[in-house]
Amino acid sequence: MRRFRRLRTSESMRRLVRETHVEKSDLIYPVFITEGKEIKNPVESMPGVFQYSIDMLSEILDRVAESGISGILVFGIPNHKDEQATEAYNPDGITQRAVRYIKSRYPELIIIADVCLCEYTSHGHCGVVCGEKILNDETLPLLSKMAVSLAEAGADIIAPSDMMDGRVAAIRNALDENGFADTPVLSYSAKFASAYYSPFRDAAQSAPGFGDRKTYQMDCANGREALREIEDDIEEGADMVMVKPALAYLDLVRAAKDRFSLPIAAYNVSGEYSMVKAAAKLGFIDEKKIVMENLISIKRAGADIIITYHALDAAEWLEEQK
C-alpha cells in the first residue's frame, strides 16, 4: 500500500521533506508616519499597529533592524491635503523627510516607497479628479514627480499602487532621466478593489471622500485580466510585480509565478491582518499558528516577497523555531 503517512511520523521527518520555508528575508513590514512630535497613535482596527512621528520611529525601527527582515514599506500621512496632492512630491514632505531620516539611521534596511496620491489628496482618490472622474493621464506626471522625490530622499524601491494605466513607463522614464536608472520599480500590478483595505484607510487616513476605487482598481472576479495587467507592467519596465490582497488571490500569485520569471510580491493586507487579530483576541484561533500557516501558504503559492503587518511577530516566531 502507498503510505503517505510514513513521511509524517515525526517532526524531524516532516522537516526533512518540507517543501516550503518562510525566511525572515522574505518579509517587509509596513510603517505609517505622521507629522508632529512625540506621536504614537494606535490604529484601532489594527491592534499592534501605530502611526509614528519621525522622532518616535526608532522605537519600531530598532526592532525592525534587529529582526532580520528585509525592510519596510513607508506610508506618509501629511497634515495638508489638496486637489493636486502637492505634499506627495514636496521634497520636504513628511514621507520624503521620513525616508531621509530612515536611510541615514538604518542604511541597511530596504526602504520601499509606496507611490500613490490618496494619502495626499483632499478627496482621497489615487489620482487627479475632475468632477466625479478620476483622470488617468493627468495623474502620471504627479506620480512621476513623487517617485523621483522619494528616490532623491533615499528610497531603495519605488512601488506605484495607484492603478493608473501607463504609470510604470512614466515613472521608469522619470527615474532614468533624473539619475535613478538603478532604482527598481515594484509595481502593484494586480491590485483589486477590495474591502480588505478598510482598516488601512483608517491607518493612512486615505478613504475616498466620494465614490469608490472601482474605475481604477480591479474587479475581484477577474483573474485573466490580472495577468494582462502584470504582463503590461513588465513590458513597461517593472522589475518586480505584486498581487494584492494576498490570501483571497493566491490563484493569481501562482499563475503569475508560473508565467513570469521576475520576483513576485504579495501584500497580506490590513483586513487580512485585522481578521486574524480579532479572532485571536476572542480566543477563536491560535494567532501564531494561523499567521505562520497564512505566510507559508502565500510563499507556497509563489510569492518571493511578502508584505505583512505580522512581519515582526513572524520574525520572532521563526527565530524560536530554530
Residues involved in catalysis: 191, 244
Using rule CB under 5 A, residue 255 touches Zn ion: no
Q: Can you tell me whether residue 33 is helix, strand or coil?
A: strand
CA nearest to 77, candidates 116, 135, 38: 116
Query: 294 is written with which cell numbers?
Result: 497564512
Site map 116..155 versus Zn ion, x via CB under 5 A = x-x-------x-----------------------------
Q: H/E element holding 210?
A: none
Nearer to ligand PBG, 58 or 86 (CB): 86
Number of Cα atoms under 13 Å in the Cβ half of residue 51 = 23
Q: What's CA 172's distance to the chain center, in Å?
A: 19
In whole angstroms, what is the distance from residue 281 CA to residue 174 CA? 46
Q: What's CA 188's distance to the chain center, in Å?
A: 8
Degrees, nearest 5: CA angle 165-305-197: 55
Taking the complex as a whole, how short is the minimal distance between the CB of residue 119 and Zn ion, in angstroms?
Answer: 7
Taking the complex as a whole, how short is the minimal distance between the CB of residue 242 and Zn ion, in angstroms?
Answer: 14
What phi and psi, each to the nearest 5 degrees, are found at residue 174?
A: -65, -40
Residue 198, amino acid: S
Taking the complex as a whole, how short is the minimal distance between the CB of residue 7 and ligand PBG, in angstroms?
Answer: 37
Nearer to ligand PBG, 55 or 78 (CB): 78
Q: Which does 125 bind (CB under 5 to 8 A by kind): Zn ion, ligand PBG, none?
A: none
Taking the complex as a whole, how short is the minimal distance between the CB of residue 53 and ligand PBG, in angstroms?
Answer: 20
Using Cβ positions, the residue closest to ligand PBG within the complex turns out to be: 200
Q: Can you tell me whether residue 273 is helix, strand or coil?
A: helix
Q: Burial level of 198, CB count in 10 A (0-12/13-18/19+)?
A: middle
- Chain residues in the site for ligand PBG (CB under 6 A): 114, 116, 118, 126, 161, 197, 200-201, 213, 269-270
Nearer to ligand PBG, 114 or 229 (CB): 114
Nearer to ligand PBG, 98 or 269 (CB): 269
Using rule CB under 5 A, residue 174 touches Zn ion: no
Q: Which does 270 bind (CB under 5 to 8 A by kind): Zn ion, ligand PBG, none?
A: ligand PBG
Residues in the site for Zn ion, rule: CB under 5 A?
Answer: 116, 118, 126
